[in-house]
Amino acid sequence: MCGIVGVTGRQDATEILLHGLEKLEYRGYDSAGIFVSAEDGQNYLVKEKGRIADLRQEVGDDVHGSTGIGHTRWATHGVPSRDNAHPHVSEDGRFYLVHNGVIGNFAQLKAEYLADVNFKSETDTEVIVQLIAHFAKEGMDAKAAFKKVLSLVDTSSSYAFLLMDSQAKDHTLYVAKRKSPLLIGLVKILTWYVLMRWPC
């Protein structure tokens, strides 16, 4: 089973994300990853096949930031591997995405809009983040590009998404759901905490 967690605020996101993923561990998963963005513009993407303990070791002591997203994956498209683990990043390095669920028409979207894109994974999820970057390049802001992509996803699909725009200075987390549950909470006034569970 899989899970996503995200946080934005003034606390150190890394420990909140890892702790959140550990709480979801009992559900089962094949790989895990986090993306953390710091105030000084530093970005960190760490992914690992296997257990959260392995991810924690890979993260080490140097990953810090106030906004981030994390994921435990239960593979539906593509083998369990570091490349297929989430978060996925757009080719231009701008957008980062975690996803629980399945995108029914990912192959059609890939063929129609993304013929020139170099994919790093076999997942349905990567199509979504590359598509967001595609529409952003056409001039849409992050929210408009995200909404445009959601409008193209077919009704057979299920998703809980957390999206980050690494160019944004405002630490916004973009969130969307269909069928998969998503919980949003306010912690200690300044920290938003998102925790999602889906029986995949």
Pick one of 47, 49, 56, 73: the residue that binds ligand GLU (CB under 6 A): 73
Q: What are the CA-CA distances from residue 84 to residues 25, 98, 125, 163, 168 (Å)?
A: 18, 11, 9, 17, 25
Using the rule CB under 6 A, give the single segment among 42-50, 122-130, 141-149, 189-197 that binds ligand GLU.
122-130
The 3-state secondary structure of 76-95, one letter per residue: CCCCCCCCCCCCEECCCCCE
In whole angstroms, how close is the CB of 8 to ligand GLU at the nearest point? Answer: 22
Structure tokens at 24: 């979801």
In whole angstroms, how close is the CB of 96 to ligand GLU at the nearest point? Answer: 14
Pick one of 87, 101, 130, 162: the residue that binds ligand GLU (CB under 6 A): 101
- Biggest CA pair distance of the chain: 45
- Counting contacts by CB under 6 A, is residue 74 touching ligand GLU? yes
In angstroms, the CA 159 to CA 143 distance is 17
Q: In the β-sheet with 191-198, what is the strand arrangement from edge to edge?
A: 43-49, 31-37, 67-73, 2-8, 191-198, 183-187
In whole angstroms, how close is the CB of 82 to ligand GLU at the nearest point? Answer: 12
Pick one of 8, 14, 37, 100: the residue that binds ligand GLU (CB under 6 A): 100
- Counting contacts by CB under 6 A, is residue 82 touching ligand GLU? no
- Counting contacts by CB under 6 A, is residue 130 touching ligand GLU? no
In whole angstroms, how close is the CB of 125 to ligand GLU at the nearest point? Answer: 5
β-strands 88-89, 67-73: how paired?
Answer: unpaired
Pick one of 45, 75, 117, 168: the residue that binds ligand GLU (CB under 6 A): 75
Structure tokens at 81: 């591997």
Pick one of 14, 37, 66, 123: the residue that binds ligand GLU (CB under 6 A): 123
Residues in contact with ligand GLU by the rule CB under 6 A? 2, 73-78, 84, 99-102, 123-125, 200
